[in-house]
Amino acid sequence: MPNALSMFAGPQNLSMKERAISVIAGLGLAAAATKPRPNPLLNVVALLGGTYLAVRGATGRCPVKRALIGAPAAEPVAAEVPAKRSRRVARR
């Protein structure tokens, strides 16, 4: 069963600048979610959005960007199988 962070699997697809902006914006948005509002649903949406941005920046992987660009989720790793060596006897 995949966990919640499995959507952030695969190769990193964010630059350091994108990562820094995501972390700063995510932490700011999550902090803004702590302010009391008349509609508590806005707090939940801000907290979820801030958490997504912070995790996106921390991991360097963005599933939305990957889906828009069309890059594969993860490169398949082929198992290296050693070549079978034949034991031929040289004839004279």
pLDDT number for residue 55? 92
Residue 53 falls inside a structural domain: yes
Residue 6 falls inside a structural domain: no
In contact, 55 and 14? CB cutoff 8 Å: no
Residue 42 falls inside a structural domain: yes
pLDDT number for residue 92? 62
pLDDT in tens, 47-77: 999 999 999 999 998 888 888 887 565 555 5
In contact, 47 and 74? CB cutoff 8 Å: no
pLDDT in tens, 10-36: 778 889 999 999 999 999 999 999 988
3-state secondary structure of 10: coil
pLDDT number for residue 63? 85
What are the structure tokens assigned to 29, written together?
């948005």
Domain that holds residue 40: 15-65
* Interatomic CA distance for residues 21 and 18, integer angstroms: 5
For the chain, the domain total comes to 1
